[in-house]
């Protein structure tokens, strides 16, 4: 009976960590893909081949790749870790205010940009690329906003992580 409860707790912790890593992977790849794509197009094909549609498509595809790879990496990592290790990592991630603030900024940026990008670039790209690519660009801008706030002296508050006894 006890092993079933611990197995369920391990599965729940793994699920939470996988979802979190998918979010972090999306944010990271949304931040890295646009400059990498711009550098690739300019170096390989020249300025004439750069279009808004291709740029936005590359941005959302990069975010999707980051989401998938982040989730897969965390699932393999959590599945091969002990229950106590996974629980400790979940607790650390739950109370990490800097990471939560980064997620909040990225989400706000993604929502705003997913709405504003189609309004500004309506005739320049397909609807799917406008909305999803705009969300990727906004997520990157939100993440940069978080880092900018942290660098300018507005760090997120720190919270003491409560100690939870580990059953033996």
Q: Could you read off the pLDDT of 35-88 as tens digits, one per residue?
A: 999 999 989 877 778 889 999 999 999 999 999 999 999 999 999 998 889 988
Return the pLDDT at 6: 58
Cα 48–Cα 66–Cα 27 angle in degrees, nearest 5? 85
CA dist 74 and 21 (Å) reads 6
3-state secondary structure the chain: CHHHHHHHHHHHHHHHHHHHHHHHHHHHHHHHHHHHHHHHHHHHCCHHHCCHHHHHHHHHHHHHHHHHHHHHHHHHHHHCCCHHHHHHHHHHHHCCHHHHHHHHHHHHHHHHHHHHHHHHCCCCCCHHHHHHHHHHHHHHHHHHHHHHHHHCCCCCCCCCCCCCCCCC
Closest alpha carbon to 130 in 53, 70, 65, 61 = 53
Confidence of residue 1 (pLDDT cuts 50, 70, 90): very low
Residues 6+ apart with CB under 8 A from 24: 70, 99
Cα distances (angstroms) measured from residue 76 to each of 7, 87, 163: 16, 15, 26
pTM of this prediction? Answer: 0.86
Question: Tokens representing 62?
Answer: 């990069």
């Amino acid at each position: 009976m006890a092993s079933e409860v611990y197995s369920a707790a391990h599965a729940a912790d793994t699920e939470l960590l996988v979802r979190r890593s998918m979010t972090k992977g999306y944010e990271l790849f949304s931040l890295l893909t646009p400059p990498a794509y711009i550098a690739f197009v300019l170096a390989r094909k020249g300025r004439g081949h750069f279009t808004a549609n291709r740029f936005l498509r590359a941005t959302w595809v990069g975010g999707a790749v980051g989401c998938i790879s982040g989730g897969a990496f965390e699932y393999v990592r959590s599945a091969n870790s002990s229950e106590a290790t996974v629980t400790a990592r979940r607790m650390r991630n739950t109370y990490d205010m800097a990471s939560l603030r980064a997620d909040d900024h990225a989400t706000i940026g993604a929502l705003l940009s997913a709405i504003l990008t189609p309004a500004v670039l309506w005739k320049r790209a397909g609807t799917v690329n406008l909305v999803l690519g705009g969300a990727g660009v906004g997520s990157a801008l939100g993440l940069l906003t978080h880092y900018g706030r942290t660098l300018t002296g507005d760090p997120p508050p720190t919270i003491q992580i409560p100690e939870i006894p580990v059953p033996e």
